[in-house]
Amino acid sequence: MAACTTLDAMTIGRAEENAQEFADVVQSHRPQIFRFLLASTRDIDLAETLTQECFLKAYRNWSSFRGESSAMTWLMRIAINLQKDHWRNRRMQFWRLTRTNAVDLDEASEWLPSGESSQEHRLLARERVQQVWRAVDGLSERQRTVFLLRYVEELELAQIAETTGLSEGTVKAHLSRALSRVRTELGGRR
Amino acid sequence: MTSPKATNRAEEPVEMESVDPALKQALGDFKASVHAWSDAVYARPRSVSKAVVRKSWQLAAGWSLAALLIAGTMSGGYYEHHQRVVAAQRAAERTAEQQRQAALERAQKQAEEDEEMLATVDTAVSREVPAAMEPLAQLSEESTSR
């Protein structure tokens, strides 16, 4: 009886420790996961929903997370898979397309850091951001993911490869194509 | 362990940015813009009730639209069915009327034919007098002529 009580106490203690650990992970990585999903979908509601789903899934599988990769890489992988599932479902259910809440490119480009000195600089920066958004919009799903992980989340190529399950060479190829597209867009508007 | 060649290849995109300052600037602006947007959205107060109200509004609108569509389809179907029934009734009435008219005409024609036949028979009968009655018939004709 006493042994049983000790075991129960240990289990409860471990569960509490796990919960605390997970809460810390959520606290530190949630903004980054949300940002990646927001940039990928340009849909605030969808990004919030997918972020919630990502952490719910992570919580359910938290005990199976062995720390072979970083928590960030693991969470990002879940987020990418959820996003893929979402688009796959969306393709199948055509009528859902009509319910899309994606922000248009002009609106997305309005956000600028407050550091820009003059009105002219702000306008130029806005124009550049708009051009990059336009290029990103034309990328394939995989190219977009790799591009955003590299240039918005600033992940290393090895981390991107680990997150996406691609080889570094493939990641590099996707990045090159994405950058070419951005350059073309920038060149065309200059 | 990454080979030096692989490392060089892996840094190619980074080199590309440094070669093109305009690209680097654009990528920097883009990153800053996405961060600013995300931070602003992330920091905004979240209203659960608002989201619920909107979801329920969408749900209600969806159900209303579906109900409207179903009602429209059903009433359209019913109207179509009703129209067909009415058309069938009218066609049946028209056919019955035509049949009645035809029967009437047939009966009328038959009656006329019967009448004509009876008249012919009467005339024929009246003209054919038996030989034994011939003198009486002549008498009768003479008295009539006088």
Looking at residue B98, its pLDDT comes to 94
What architecture is domain A104-190?
Orthogonal Bundle (1.10)
Express each pLDDT in B107-145 by its tens digit: 999 999 999 988 888 777 766 666 777 777 778 777 777
- Asked if the Cβ–Cβ distance from B31 to A128 is below 8 Å, we say no
Q: Which residues of A60-91 are buried (b: 16+ CB within 10 A; e: fewer)?
A: eebeeeeeeeebbbbbbbbbbebbeebeeeee
What are the C-alpha distances in Å from A163 to residues A70, A167, B95?
10, 10, 80
User: Who among A35, A112, A132 is closest to B38 (CB)?
Assistant: A35
- Asked if the Cβ–Cβ distance from B26 to A132 is below 8 Å, we say yes
Q: Which residues contact B63 (CB under 8 A, 6 or more apart)?
A: none
B15 touching chain A per CB within 8 A? no
- Asked if the Cβ–Cβ distance from B29 to A182 is below 8 Å, we say no
Looking at residue B8, its pLDDT comes to 43
Looking at residue A124, its pLDDT comes to 85
Distance of CA B30 to the CA centre of its chain: 56
Looking at residue A9, its pLDDT comes to 67
Fold of the CATH domain A1-102? Rna Polymerase Sigma Factor; Chain: A (1.10.1740)
Q: Is the CB of residue A80 less than 8 Å from the CB of residue A163? A: yes
List the domain boundaries for chain A. 1-102, 104-190
Q: Is the CB of residue B52 less than 8 Å from the CB of residue A53? A: no
Per the listing, tokens 């867009």 go with A185
Q: Which residues contact B137 (CB under 8 A, 6 or more apart)?
A: B129
Which amino acid, residue B22?
A
DSSP secondary structure of A87-133: HHHHHH-GGGGGG--PPPHHHHHT---TT--SHHHHHHHHHHHHHHH
The percent helix, strand, coil of chain A (3-state, each to 5) is 80, 0, 20
B37 touching chain A per CB within 8 A? yes
Average pLDDT over residues B51-80: 83
**Contact list, B40 vs chain A (CB under 8 Å):** 111
Looking at residue B3, its pLDDT comes to 42
A172 touching chain B per CB within 8 A? yes
Tokens of A38: 């927001």
Reduce the DSSP state of residue B11 to 3 states and report it. coil
Tokens of A93: 């259910």
ipTM for the complex shown: 0.82
Q: Which residue of B has its CA nearest to A40?
A: B34
Q: Is the CB of residue B23 less than 8 Å from the CB of residue A179? A: yes
Per-residue pLDDT of chain A (190 residues), as tens digits, is 555 566 666 666 666 777 778 888 888 899 999 999 999 998 888 899 999 999 999 988 887 777 777 888 999 999 999 988 887 776 656 555 554 566 676 776 677 766 656 778 888 888 889 899 999 989 999 999 999 999 999 999 999 999 999 999 999 999 999 999 999 988 865 4
Distance (Å, whole) CA A34 – CA A147: 16
B9 touching chain A per CB within 8 A? yes
Q: Which residues contact B2 (CB under 8 A, 6 or more apart)?
A: A158, A168, B10
A158 touching chain B per CB within 8 A? yes
- Asked if the Cβ–Cβ distance from B31 to A186 is below 8 Å, we say no
DSSP secondary structure of B50-82: HHHHHHHHHHHHHHHHHHHHHHHHHHHHHHHHH
Closest to A182 (Cα-Cα) out of B16, B33, B56, B140: B16
pTM for the whole structure = 0.60
Tokens of A77: 């992988």
Same fold, A1-102 and A104-190: no
The CA-based dihedral angle spanning residues A139, A142, A143, A149, taken in that order and rounded to the nearest 10 degrees: 120
